[in-house]
Structure 1
């Protein structure tokens, strides 16, 4: 039996939008993992990738195949809130092809994502997990997140109410002087 093909993580470009849209669409259409009700198309995903790359990050994991590289998972971060005092925090998500969950792609992507966010000056990353989703809870636990609270019956999708558990992970070390703000994220 051959070993699995190693995955490569790289920064996404708008050219990855079609692959990311194809990965994301089943989550939107058939699950409550995403609270979007209409799957965004390639143009919208290209816009989202470009926006994430400006101040946060969007990464893809790809494998080499006989036909060349193929994107099979992605992770990204964006603003946690529009309020100025939250600017050192961000929100992250990770999605893999449905048949590729629990293969290590999420851990690999999150590890690379956290490094980029930390270098940019972010201090905390949050992730919302629609319940129930033990696979996602396990991934977040394994990558250093801690649960910080649950919003009860906050999203209605596919004929049912869903809770969302929020997870938090610290980034970097606190090296600032007390009472002094850290450097601005870049």
Structure 2
């Protein structure tokens, strides 16, 4: 699998990650359709979401922490995918699937590097 240098550290998400995750996520809610959420959230409102993920197993929440400003395009997505597939190798998982809201060429390229391929395009889902 691909590997790119990064200073990020990947680990299981914790309640302490709620504020930075919300800060990172909410601009995508306000400015794009890629999340399918329709309004920004708060760390308190996201707490049940975080608690729905176990610390291990095939449905765990992994987070990457990087102190560099503007870390986009610096390999964090690649690093997260590498750690995800390392974790899944020890699980009873037959297939991993990814959903991508179009158009999102960086996400398409990232998934393609990990062997994902286009199977279906869903029409009239989400919001614009």
Task: Give yes or no for TM over 0.5.
Answer: yes
The equivalent position to 1:128 in structure 2, one of 79, 99, 108, is 99
Aligned residue in 2 for 1:53: 54
Unaligned runs of 5+ in 2: none
Structure with more contact order per residue of length (Cα contacts < 8 Å, sep ≥ 6): 2
Aligned residue in 2 for 1:117: 88
- Displacement of 1:5 in angstroms is 6.4
Q: Summarize the Cα distance change of 1:43–1:118 in structure 2 as closer, same or farther, 3 Å threshold.
A: farther
**Is the CA contact (8 Å cut-off) linking 2:11 and 2:62 kept in structure 1?**
yes
Find the residue that maps to 1:138 and give its secondary structure.
helix
Structure 1 segments (4+ residues) deviating >6 Å: none
Q: Summarize the Cα distance change of 1:35–1:5 in structure 2 as closer, same or farther, 3 Å threshold.
A: closer
Q: Summarize the Cα distance change of 1:64–1:151 in structure 2 as closer, same or farther, 3 Å threshold.
A: closer
- Displacement of 1:136 in angstroms is 0.8
1:147 aligns with 2:90: no
Q: Provide the TM-score with structure 1 as the length reference.
A: 0.59
1:6 aligns with 2:7: yes
Across the aligned residues of Structure 1 and Structure 2, the Cα RMSD in angstroms comes to: 2.1
Unaligned runs of 5+ in 1: 66-71, 73-98, 158-186
**Is the CA contact (8 Å cut-off) linking 1:14 and 1:45 kept in structure 2?**
no
The equivalent position to 2:79 in structure 1, one of 108, 111, 128, is 108
Structure 1 or 2, whichever has the larger Rg, is 1
Q: Aligned pair count?
A: 122
Q: Which has the higher strand share?
A: 1
Find the residue that maps to 1:123 and give its secondary structure.
coil
The equivalent position to 1:62 in structure 2, one of 61, 65, 74, is 65
Find the residue that maps to 2:121 and give its secondary structure.
strand
